[in-house]
A and B are shown apart, each in its own frame.
Chain A
Amino acid sequence: MNLFKKSSIKLTLVASLALLGSGCASTLESLNPLADLEPWVKPYERSNLADPIMSMNRNPVALAYAKHVFESREGARGADGGAGGGCGCN
């Protein structure tokens, strides 16, 4: 029974969020304490960030293999680069 109660609460929350998202952008922004925050790194200041050496997934084919080796030799799994799953090619 408790299981269904919890699910109902979550579904209500989902419905509320969906309503907020679908038509009430201004409501959401007014509720957002970070609404006044401006992006502090401008597009013309991102040359360092755009350098390939700042990308952890520069070579997807090698990264997927390295991840596979660690997963095979270790008991832990998951959260090891991107929101995991699939081929890891992204």
Chain B
Amino acid sequence: MAEQVAVVAATNQGLVQAMRQNLNNASAFVVALALVISVLFAGLAKAAVLPTERADVLYHAYEGDGVTIDGPSVLLRKNIAGRVSISANYYVDTVSGASIDVRSTASPYQEVRKEKTVGIDFLNNKTLISTSFTNSSENDFEANSVYLGVSQDFFGDLSTISLSYSKGWDVVGRRGDESFEEEANRQKFGLGFSQVATKSLILGFNIEHISDEGYLNNPYRAVRFLDSSTDRGFSFATETYPRTRSSTAYSINANYYLPYRAALYGDARTYNDTWGIKARNFRIGYLQPYKDSWLFEVFVRYYEQDKADFYQDLFNRPNEFNFMARDKEMSTYNGLTAGISVAYEWQFSQTATFKKSSVHFEWDYMKFAYDDFRDATADAPVGEEPLFGFSANVLRIFASVWY
């Protein structure tokens, strides 16, 4: 975690709606699961495979809007007896600096987030069942989550259907306030389908429904309201969010193999939630191998969203509405990302201990432009400050070995 503020009392109506939504979600998930089981027993099932055995060591860095986040990530995977695969991931974010939200109201800070995941995959009767447990820990935030997924190939291995469910439990704290402790629970329901369309084309479709309940604010972000008693003409107050949120996202994707050994891919997603946020994004990318060892990739991704119903850059007074937000991720904005990467691979004997290894360098440039979030640190009349925008650089440098 790394930001946001405010506590809201949930209304009885909100809780009933959340319970109803969760029950509906659970029912829909069970229906989908029954469909998959039906397909399996109908004798259409074909091969599934365990994930590849490999080890990865990655250094990641994000720098933008006054914030630097970097750290390592290590992922190990080992198969046992051809039917079970175990994995472990250790990931660290070291955050320093202060984003525009924090610069307006507080001081820069430094903190560390450590995330640990262990997972097991079972290959049984040609069905792949995956489960994992994740713990994420920092000084003001603790999150645990469990994941269960089922994946099945059928129709001569041309079709794959996958279902997933995960549940998470968060405990939210606030630096400098030992008495502050809030909780949030999260549930995710996923359904995926992919289809081999031709000898060179794979198509995919995904739906994911997420429902959250509890303290959903960021305890370090605040709303801005007019206050003529201050020099700047405004002050900040605690944000107030609803205590429930449900979202549904739909995505499609396609991968196409070009005649001269290169690949073109694209995806698109549409999103909406009960807070009024509507979003969509598109991406197109191109992969070009060179000789046997090099692989180059470029992509462009565009994202845009409409604001949450209760978002405003400037309110007239504190407690003006039941729900109030000024988190810039709740506003209307768009983002453009362009990425390039290069990888070099060494192939060894298939009978050797290490069969393959590679090194990778990946760089993304991101640029965000906000339509109704103003730079409150600018020297301008209140409400007339320039609209905010920023760019960021993201690096991923890693080495991998297959065994």
Contact = CB atoms under 8 A, between A and B. Distances in A.
B166 A86 contact: yes
B123 interface: no
A65 B202 contact: no
The A interface, classified by DSSP as helix, strand, loop or mixed, is helix
How extensive is the interface on chain A, given as a class?
A: 35 or more
A85 B277 CA distance: 21
B147 A85 contact: yes
| Range for the number of chain B residues in contact with chain A | 35 or more
Interface string B104-123: 00000000000001010100
A51 interface: yes
B62 A69 contact: yes
Interface string B61-103: 0100000000001110100000000010101000000000000
A75 B308 contact: yes
A45 interface: yes
Interface in A3-48: 3, 6-7, 10-11, 13-14, 17-18, 20-23, 25, 28-29, 37-41, 43, 45-46, 48
A59 B41 CA distance: 33
A19 B226 CA distance: 64
Contact of B305 (A22, A75, A80): A75
A76 B271 contact: yes
B9 interface: no
Contact of A83 (B91, B206, B279): B206
B157 A79 contact: no
Given A39-B158, A78-B210, A3 B23 contact: yes
B368 A76 contact: no
Q: Interface SS of chain B: helix, strand, loop or mixed?
A: strand
Contact of A89 (B37, B119, B202, B394): B119
6 nearest A-B residue pairs (beta carbon): A39-B156, A86-B147, A83-B190, A21-B38, A85-B166, A78-B208
Given A54-B263, A64-B89, A79-B206, 6 more contacts: A41-B156, A53-B262, A65-B91, A75-B329, A80-B206, A84-B166
Interface of A: 3, 6-7, 10-11, 13-14, 17-18, 20-23, 25, 28-29, 37-41, 43, 45-46, 48-49, 51, 53-54, 56, 59-62, 64-66, 69-70, 73-87, 89-90
22 contacts: A3-B23, A11-B27, A17-B35, A21-B40, A21-B42, A25-B43, A28-B42, A29-B42, A53-B262, A54-B263, A56-B265, A60-B56, A60-B75, A61-B74, A64-B89, A75-B305, A75-B330, A77-B249, A83-B164, A85-B149, A85-B190, A90-B51
